[in-house]
Structure 1
């Protein structure tokens, strides 16, 4: 490979990936080679990087292209990325985010969208399902681990700052996935058609799986009255004609007008007891935004039931009832749950079978016919044994079992989803992607 051909190919590919390289930078790089030991790879890399790259955020992209163009024949970057595994792409994604290399970030996201979104040309959709599939493949939990400092600083404020940085980075990746999908939708259907499907939804129509932080306050305002209504609908009620126990004192008093003959017995009104509630909430990375909603709902339900027991899970199960009771507000409870690593047993990959078996073995004796069990999750268990018999044991002891699934029904039982195997042991399995659907579920309860 001659030095002119090498630099020319390198410059051409850098420009194709979005790194701005002008004619003057190209000439500077060519002149620099005259002063460089071409057999010293590190020296060659340093010379070309110094002359061609003006933004430190583009270093990661330069290094990738350099490795391709100076180790044999030139290779297209997109083709090279397409040959990498999801894990390798996730590592590149983490590197791009850390170095703020938007070019590399777009390239990696583009490959992941093409690989996992399942894009269907011509469909009049907003791309929510495409984004959900891609984000699940990226595995935000694993990406967050890669972006986290393995030895976080000691002070509480420093830990919170580090956590917020990781959360911001993950949101940036999700935003880029959404942007890439929108670009492809526009290319397929045109801007006007896409705009009609991407109009900003009302708060009650915000998809839990796509809800951003800016939607949290709007959701919280609607959740509280819904929690109250849910408690009322689940309460043990009696028919209006049903009578309570005899009120002897009032019966005798009323009988004075008839000479002591109790013509009209008086009965005490029935006072239906508040029901008991058990909530099992999936807080894994694949449904992280839905988990935030689930914890909001649990927090709102605490004052509406005689007893609320709250559990969170990923591949392990932890009761967080005391955390919600002790925390002054929802944010403090969530921080405490994260700090304690609640719900994680081994590798932090969802294992519904183990979770249900743990609950059935350790907590099922606390269930009564007055207990309603509410499961919040997508039933995706990484192809592990679902342990449906454990859910059957829970259903046999509880009064009601409802499962709220944040995924669209079209995605149920696809891939590692086993919701169809759990459904026979639930009174109802409901698609619950928004507050509107949650309200419809509440209204349907009798």
Structure 2
């Protein structure tokens, strides 16, 4: 396939995965490729990354797509037959092993070797740090143990599991440490043992990557680059849905949240400084016109000074929407400088104010942990009861709402068929400045089953779908 067509498909797949790649960046990538040797795969990879990746959070998606579109495809990687160098390496390794065991010469083919013998050869390669042998072993291990069949709709993870299981890689580190201990002339210190362990772990991880690359290459050869890229495509951290995120995706979300809040705070502060011009300042214009002989050549304007709003956040933290509430609170408090006052309330079937948890703390995660463990929010059975929680909120804190207050209601509005008490939201709207509802569910799920978001939404200034960080960022920017 011509490089230009390959690059075109690569750029399209990056965009499909959510990476913002502009036409200018596409042209920059083409120019960068001209300056580096194409046979140097690592240089080629990082040249593309330097021109196409703008966020560390997008690196994993870029790397996955790169490995699919630019997998090793030269004649020396032909799947149908083994290369001569690999065959020669196998013969040499087998000869050494057989001589060490006193069994004489072997035929040079791996077909007669048992999994234990191949694992022993891998152990020797890992002990010696033999990169070439590790790569050859990865190729041969996949060919023998993965059980890959053309056209079979099985993911690469299954093939990886089968290969590593037959090589007994889980116990390889202990074997390497024991063998290294026996070979040492004198007893190793704790520091030396730790350094050796780190080195062996690094080599094992490198071998796993070689196996993954070999499996990926064979799948690409069987299914095509586009189909494989679509199969391996995962959402970017800012597009991961709060309600369905795995543990690893939650960690990625937390990492993505910090740079997002810094960028958002800087953008909002800049908007406040450079807001649109207000009405003409007649007196100031006349005063400055004296330097132009009375001609108002430089009109002056009154710049608006919008008051910072007060914010009340009322969040459902029951199990179904806990992650969404947690990230929203973290984002709001990270940019709390854009508000004159921020107060937070959480509820399930009871409600509690948690504003004090966020004061005098540098790590918002600690405050969120206190919210989840110390807040008094379960009064009856621990199932969401929006109606009861809203009534208690209005009774205790309704008097604090004024014309400067914006109320932010967070939750999926699934009320477990309890009374809605929507009149409370109506009173909030009458007394406050704005009332917004953020729902982490897709719009297609609203007002189905026990969802009553439509009834509440009729008394708000807007109900917004906020399933991920990207949508949440857009709303917060609009709010401020």
TM-score by structure 1 length? 0.48
Structure number, greater radius of gyration: 2
